[in-house]
Amino acid sequence: MYQSTLRAVTGQRIKQNLSIYLKGASMVKSNTMTVKNMATKALPRLPVPTLDQTLYKYLESVRPLLSNEEFAKTLELTEKFANTDGAKLQALLLEKAHEAENWLADWWLNAAYLDFRSPLVVWSSPGQLMPFTHFKDIHDRLLYIANVIEATIEYKKLIDDDKIPVDMMGKEPLDMQQYKKVFGTCRNPALPRDVQEFNPQSNHIIVAHRNHFFKVNLCGKDGNKLSVNQLVSQLKYCIELSKTSAPAVGILTSDHRDNWSIAYQVLMQDETNRNSVDAIQKSLYVMSIDQAMPKIEGQNRHTEASHQLIHGGGSKVNGGNRWFDKTVQFIIGENGVNGLCYEHSPAEGVPIAVMVDFLVEYMKRDGSKGIPDADGVELPIHLEFNVNADVEKEIIKSCKNLDALAADLDMDSFSFDVYGKEFVKKHKISPDSYIQMAMQYAFYRMYNYPGAHYESAATRKYLHGRTETIRSCSTQSVAFARAMMDDAKTPEDKVKSLREAVDSHKKYTVDALNGFGVDRHLLGLKLTSLEQNISLNPFFKDVAFTKSNSFRLSTSQVATKCDAFMCYGPLVMDGYGCCYNPRSNNINFAVSSMHSNPDTRSSQFREALEHSLLDMHDILVRVQKSKL
Ligand code: COA
C-alpha cells in the first residue's frame, strides 16, 4: 500500500525493508487460531501472535505518526529486530506461554498496576457515575445508602453462587474471574511494588463520614444479614459520632505510591492504627458519605460529579473521606451524586458497569420484600487513629499533593443528545468504530496532525484475559479526517473515507479481541528481554515505539443500561482521557486533560468532538437523501 509513495520519497532501501511489511499482510487474515495443548479449563489460552503478524501491524499503526524519514529508519530497525533479538525473544515467549495459564496475566498486573507509582487518583482509578438522585433530607439519603448496601449484599450473593450470567462475546463465553475480585480486595502500598489482598468472605463494610471510618458488620449475631431499617440505624449511629471532621488519614492513600508506602510504615508503627487499617483493608468495600462539593462556576452536573468521584474535591472537601486502595468505594453525595471510585488493578470497567446496572434495577424493587431483621445487631465500631507529629507531617504532604492534582484535572463530562448508536446502526456502521473515528477527527481538527490513540478491547474470551489495545489511529483514520476538512470533497467522498476508516478500525478491533493486537505482544517481548538480561534491542527505543506508545488519546467504551458513565484522567500529560457510554439515542462522554498542559483543553476537545459527530451525521444524512 505504501510501497509506491515510499519508494518515490526514499528509494530502494525502503523496498528491501518492506519485505516484512508485505509478508505480514498475508498472514494477518488467518488469526482465529488458539494455542495448541490447551489447559483442561474450559476457556482457551491467550495466544502468542507470530512475530511477523505483530510487526506488520505495528508498522501499519506507526506509519501515520511518522515522517517518511522516520518511517524508513523504523522499517530498518524492525527488520533487524525480526531477524535477531526478535526471533530469540519470540522463542522464549512461546516457551513461557506453553507453561503458563495466561502468559501475560502476571506481567500485566505488575506492569500496568502494581509497579505503577503515580497516584491512583486521576492516573489510575476511574470514577463511575450512577444515575443522579435527589435527597429530601438526611434520612432520605441514609435510606438510599441502606438500599445500596442491601443491593450489594444481593449482588455479592450472586457472585459467590456463580449466578451472574456469563458475559458473552457473540457465542463465546468470557472469563468471569474479575467479578470475584470486586468485593473484599485491597491494593496495599509497598516498595517497589504494591500488593493485593483478597478477603471476599469478609462480613463487614467501612462507612466513611467526615474522614472518620466505621466498621459496620452486615450480619447480626444470628448470622443473618441486616435489614434496610437496621442498616439505616447503623448509618445514623455513624453520622452521630462524626459531626466534626477527623484528621484526614485516608488522604494518604491518594498520594504517589512511593510516598504512601513510606507514610504507611510511619502510620503502622502504632498498634491502634494497624488494627484500624487492617479493618479497612479486610472490608468488602468502603461507603463514603460525602459533604457537599463547592459549586464551580460554569461546570455542568456531569463534570462536577466526575470531580467528586475521581478525587473528592481535594483535602478541603471529601479527599480524606476515602480509602483509595479499596477496589470499590461507593460515594453518595449530599448533592444527589451517586457512584463509586474503583481501584483498577483487579478488574476492568465492565464488571463495575454490570454491577451498577444491577444495583440500579434492584433498588427499583418493592422495598417491603427486602431482607428481614437480623437478631443481635452489634453497633458499628469507630476506627481510631493515633495521629502523632510524624503521621501529621505525612498527611500535610499528601493534602498538598492531592490539592494540586485535583486542581490540575480539567474535566468536561457531558451527554451528546443529538443522536446515539441507533442512528449509526441504521447506517450499517459499528457505533464503537464510528465514535472512535469521531475522536480521531476531533483530534485532527484541533491539531492538524493525528494523535496516537488507545482503546481497550476485552480479551476475556481467554483464560484470565484482560485487555488488548486497539490502536485507533490509522492511515485510514487520518485520510478520513483530512477528507472531512477538505471543502473540495463531496459528501459521497467523505462517507467513503468514513467507511474505510471504520472498516480498518473494526478489523483491528476483531484482531485485538482475539488477542492479536500489537501492544501486549511487544510488552511480552520487551519483558522477556529484561527478565533474561538480554540488552534491550534498539527497536524498543525507536521514535516509532515511543511516539506510538505515548497515547494522546486514552479511550474506552464502558456501557451501562442506566444513564451513567465512567470517567478517568488522561494517560499522558499532553493527552486526553475520553470514556464513553453509547446509548440508544445519546452518548455520554467524560473528557479529561491536565490544566497545566498548555496544549490541551477538555472543553475544546468536547467542542471538536461534538462538531465532528454533527459533521458525520450531516454527511450520512445527505448521502442517504441523495440516494432516495
Ligand atoms: N451495522 C449495524 N449494527 C452494527 C454494526 C453494523 N455494521 N456493527 C456493530 N453493530 C451493532 C452490534 O451488533 C451491537 O448491537 P447491540 O447494541 O444490539 O448489541 C452494537 O452495534 C454495538 O457494537 P459495536 O459498536 O461494534 O461494538 P461493541 O459494543 O461490540 O464494542 C468493544 C466493541 C471493543 C468496545 C468491546 O468489544 C469491548 O471490548 N468492550 C470492553 C472494553 C473494556 O474493557 N472497557 C473497560 C476498560 S476499563
- The total of other beta-carbon atoms located within 10 Å of residue 99's CB is 7
Query: Can you list the domains of the chain with their CATH numbers?
Result: 2-103+417-557+598-627 (3.30.559.10), 110-411 (3.30.559.70)
Report whether residue 429 contacts ligand 1, using a CB cutoff of 6 Å: yes
HSE-CB at 384 with a 13 A cutoff on CA atoms is 5
Task: Say what percent of the chain tops pLDDT 90.
Answer: 90
- In three-state secondary structure terms, 430 is coil
- At residue 23 the predicted structure's pLDDT band, cuts being 50, 70 and 90, is very low
Mean pLDDT (whole number) for 216-234: 96
- What are the angstrom distances between the C-alpha of 583 and each of 271, 399, 552, 559, 565? 50, 38, 25, 8, 10
Instruction: Report CA(379)–ligand 1 centroid distance (Å).
Output: 47
Q: Determine the Cα–Cα distance for residues 137 and 139; give it in Å rounded to an integer.
A: 5
Residue 21's pLDDT band, with cuts at 50, 70 and 90, is: very low
Q: What is the pLDDT of residue 268?
A: 98
Closest CA to 415 of 501, 340, 330, 305: 305
pTM beyond 0.75: the answer is yes
Q: Is 509 in the pocket of ligand 1 (CB under 6 A)?
A: yes
Ligand 1 close to Cβ of residue 468 (< 6 A)? no
Q: Which of 137, 330, 146 is nearest to 232 (CA)?
A: 146
The preferred substitution site among 310, 432, 567 for testing ligand 1, maximizing ligand atoms within 8 Å of CB, is 432
SS (H, E, C) 517-557: CCHHHHHHHHHHHHHCCCCCCHHHHCHHHHHHHCCCEEEEE
Q: What pLDDT, in 10s, does the model give residues 27-38?
A: 333 222 222 222
For residue 449, the one-letter residue type is: Y
- Tens digit of pLDDT for each residue in 377-432? 999 999 999 999 999 999 999 999 999 999 999 999 999 999 999 999 999 999 99
Q: Is 354 in the pocket of ligand 1 (CB under 6 A)?
A: no
Mean pLDDT of all residues in 297-318: 96
> For ligand 1, is residue 170 a contact (CB within 6 Å)?
no
Q: What integer pLDDT is reported at residue 487 of this predicted model?
A: 96
Residue 611 a catalytic site member: no
**For all residues of the chain together, what is the average pLDDT?**
93
For the segment 136-155, what is each residue's pLDDT rounded down to a tens digit? 999 999 999 999 999 999 99
314 in contact with ligand 1, CB cutoff 6 A: no
Ligand 1 centre from 491 Cα, in Å?
A: 26
Per-residue confidence band for 368, with pLDDT thresholds at 50, 70 and 90: low
pLDDT attached to residue 29 = 32
Tell me: pLDDT of 133 over 60. yes
Q: How far apart are CA 3 and CA 375, in angstroms?
A: 77
The rounded Å distance from CA 349 to ligand 1 centre is: 15
What is the per-residue pLDDT for 14? 33
pLDDT score, position 41: 52
CA of 390 to the centre of ligand 1 (A): 51
Q: Where are the beta strands (DSSP E) in 404-479?
A: 409-416, 453-458, 467-471
| Mean pLDDT calculated for residue range 439-457 | 98
Atom 10 (ligand 1) nearest CA: 430
| Rounded alpha-carbon distances, angstroms, from residue 492 to 25, 300, 433, 471, 481 | 29, 37, 19, 26, 14
Closest residue by CA, ligand 1 atom 26: 430
* Averaged pLDDT for residues 213-220: 97
Q: Are 572 and 549 in contact (CB under 8 A)?
A: no
Residue 249 CB coordination number (10 Å): 27
The CB of 350 under 6 Å from ligand 1? The reply is yes
Residue 48 CA, distance from chain mean position: 24
Each residue's pLDDT tens digit, 251-279: 999 999 999 999 999 999 999 999 999 99
Element (H, E) at 281: helix 271-281
Q: Kindly give the distance from the C-alpha atom of residue 460 to the centroid of ligand 1, in angstroms, as a whole number.
A: 15
User: Of 209, 212, 256, 344, which one is the catalytic site residue?
Assistant: 344
Q: What would the mean pLDDT of 289-293 be, rounded to a whole number?
A: 95
